[in-house]
C-alpha cells in the first residue's frame, strides 16, 4: 500500500468512528434532553405549588390549583399490589422453567409467556373494560366483600373500574417481564452451584433454595425492580380500568388515578391553560425520575449476576 492510500483509509476510519460515535451519543443526549425539558416544563407548577403539589388532593383546573397526592397514591398502590401478586408467580415460573420442567417444553412455554409481553397495552385495557371488569364486578368483588368485608380495603360500594382492577391488569402485564429477566439470571448461574448442593444430599428444591436462588439473589431482585418500573409507568391499560377519579379511598373497589393516567387523559387539551400543562409535566417529571432511578438500580443488580459475581 502506498503512503497516500494508507492515509486515505485511516481518514475513512476516523470518519466512520466519529459517525458511529455521534449515533451512540444520541442515547445519553436523549436522557439529558428529557431531564432538561421536563424540568423546564414543570418549573412554573413547581414554583406555584412547591412541595404542596405532592401532598395536596385538590385538582381544580378551573381555579388553577393542582395536587398530585391521589395520583401518587394510586400509582404506588396499584404497582405494589401488582408486584405482590406477580412476584411469586413469575419467580415460580422462572425457577420451574430453568430447573424442573421437562427440557423440551422449557423454551415453548417461555416463548408463550413472552408473547404476553408483545400484546399492546391498549389491548389489555380493552380486555380489562369488557371482560375482566364485568367478571370482577359480578363474581370476585362480591365474594371478597362477603368474606373479607370487615377490612377497610374490601368495604364500601363496588364499582367496576377500580384500583384493584388496575392492579390485576398490571399483574398480568408484568409477570412476563419479571419471568423472562429472572429466567435469564437463573440460566447464568453456573451448574457447579447446583451440582455441589445435590452432591451434598439436597433435594431438588433444597438445591434451588440454598444454592441457586441465593447465588442469583441480586439479579432476581433486579428483575423484580424492573417489573416495578414497568408497573409504575404503565399508562393505557391503567387509564382504561382505574376509574380516573382524583380521590384517595381506603377501599380497593373504589376508582382511583395514576400519574400516567392523568397525563394521558388531560394533556391533549389541558383546559386549565399553561399552569395545567405545567402541572401535568411536573407529574411526568416525577414519573420519569422514579422510573430512571428504579431501572438504574435494577440494571446494576442484574449486571452483577450476569458478570458472574453472585450476590451472596
Q: Which residues between 44 and 73 bind another protein (CB under 8 A)? A: none
Query: Per-residue x/- mask for another protein, residues 236 to 275, rule CB under 8 A?
Result: x---x-------------------x--xx--xx-------
Distance CA 260, CA 235 (A): 5
Q: Is 170 in the site for another protein (CB under 8 A)?
A: no
Residues 169, 230: contact at Cβ < 8 Å? no
Q: Is 115 in the site for another protein (CB under 8 A)?
A: yes
Q: Name the segment binding another protein (CB under 8 A); options: 24-32, 57-65, 147-155, 189-197.
A: 24-32
Among 7, 30, 196, 250, binds another protein (CB under 8 A): 30
Angle at 68 between CA 67 and CA 72, to 5 degrees: 155
Distance CA 300, CA 121 (A): 27
CB atoms closer than 10 angstroms to residue 275: 17
Q: Is 138 in the site for another protein (CB under 8 A)?
A: no
Q: What is the phi-psi region of residue 132: left when phi exceeds 0, alpha when psi lies from -120 to 50, beta otherwise?
A: alpha
Q: Is 143 in the site for another protein (CB under 8 A)?
A: no
Residues 258, 74: contact at Cβ < 8 Å? yes
> Collapsing DSSP states into helix, strand and coil, what is residue 281?
helix
Compare residues 229 and 251 and give the one whose CB is closer to another protein. Answer: 229
Q: Name the segment binding another protein (CB under 8 A); options: 48-56, 61-69, 246-254, 284-292.
A: 284-292
Q: What is the DSSP letter of 265?
A: H
Q: Name the segment binding another protein (CB under 8 A); options: 47-55, 213-221, 234-242, 304-312.
A: 234-242
Q: Whole-number minimum distance, CB 54 to another protein, in Å?
A: 18
Among 124, 141, 153, 253, binds another protein (CB under 8 A): 124
Compare residues 146 and 308 and give the one whose CB is closer to another protein. Answer: 308
Among 68, 113, 164, 186, binds another protein (CB under 8 A): 113
Q: What is the DSSP letter of 128?
A: I
Q: Is 139 in the site for another protein (CB under 8 A)?
A: no
Residues 178, 90: contact at Cβ < 8 Å? yes
Q: Is 220 in the site for another protein (CB under 8 A)?
A: no
> Collapsing DSSP states into helix, strand and coil, what is residue 267?
coil
Contacts of 295 (CB under 8 A, 6+ apart): 225, 226, 229
Among 56, 64, 292, 311, binds another protein (CB under 8 A): 292
Query: Per-residue x/- mask for another protein, residues 197 to 216, rule CB under 8 A?
Result: ------xxxx-x--------
Q: Is 189 in the site for another protein (CB under 8 A)?
A: no
Q: Whole-number minimum distance, CB 149 to another protein, in Å?
A: 26
Q: Which three cell numbers stand for residue 79?
A: 404497582
Q: Is 74 in the site for another protein (CB under 8 A)?
A: no
Contacts of 287 (CB under 8 A, 6+ apart): 75, 232, 233, 259, 260, 263
Among 65, 291, 304, 306, binds another protein (CB under 8 A): 291
Q: Is 15 in the site for another protein (CB under 8 A)?
A: yes
Q: Is 103 in the site for another protein (CB under 8 A)?
A: no
Distance CA 301, CA 312 (A): 12
Amino acid at each position: 500500500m502506498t503512503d497516500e492510500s494508507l492515509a486515505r483509509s485511516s481518514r475513512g476510519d476516523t470518519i466512520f468512528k466519529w459517525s458511529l460515535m455521534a449515533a451512540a451519543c444520541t442515547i445519553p443526549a436523549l436522557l439529558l434532553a428529557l431531564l432538561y425539558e421536563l424540568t423546564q416544563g414543570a418549573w412554573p407548577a413547581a414554583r406555584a405549588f412547591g412541595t404542596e403539589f405532592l401532598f395536596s388532593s385538590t385538582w381544580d383546573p378551573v381555579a388553577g390549583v393542582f395536587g398530585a397526592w391521589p395520583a401518587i397514591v394510586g400509582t404506588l398502590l396499584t404497582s405494589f399490589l401488582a408486584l405482590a401478586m406477580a412476584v411469586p408467580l413469575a419467580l415460580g415460573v422462572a425457577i420451574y422453567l430453568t430447573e424442573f420442567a421437562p427440557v423440551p417444553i422449557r423454551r415453548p412455554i417461555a416463548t408463550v409467556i413472552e408473547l404476553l409481553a408483545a400484546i399492546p397495552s391498549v389491548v389489555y385495557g380493552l380486555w380489562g373494560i369488557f371482560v375482566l371488569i364485568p367478571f370482577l364486578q359480578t363474581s370476585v368483588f362480591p365474594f371478597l366483600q362477603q368474606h373479607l368485608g370487615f377490612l377497610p380495603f374490601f368495604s364500601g360500594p363496588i364499582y367496576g373500574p377500580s384500583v384493584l382492577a388496575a392492579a390485576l391488569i398490571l399483574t398480568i402485564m408484568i409477570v412476563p417481564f419479571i419471568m423472562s429477566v429472572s429466567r435469564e439470571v437463573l440460566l447464568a448461574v453456573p451448574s457447579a452451584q447446583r451440582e455441589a448442593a445435590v452432591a451434598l444430599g439436597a433435594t431438588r428444591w433444597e438445591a434451588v433454595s440454598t444454592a441457586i436462588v441465593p447465588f442469583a439473589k441480586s439479579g432476581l431482585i433486579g428483575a423484580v425492580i424492573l417489573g416495578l418500573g414497568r408497573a409504575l409507568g404503565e399508562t393505557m391499560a391503567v387509564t382504561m380500568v382505574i376509574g380516573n377519579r382524583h380521590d384517595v379511598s381506603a377501599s380497593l373497589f373504589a376508582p382511583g388515578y395514576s400519574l400516567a393516567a392523568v397525563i394521558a387523559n388531560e394533556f391533549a387539551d389541558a383546559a386549565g391553560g399553561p399552569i395545567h400543562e405545567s402541572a401535568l409535566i411536573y407529574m411526568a417529571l416525577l414519573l420519569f425520575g422514579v422510573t430512571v432511578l428504579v431501572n438504574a438500580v435494577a440494571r446494576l443488580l442484574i449486571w452483577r449476576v450476569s458478570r458472574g459475581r453472585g450476590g451472596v
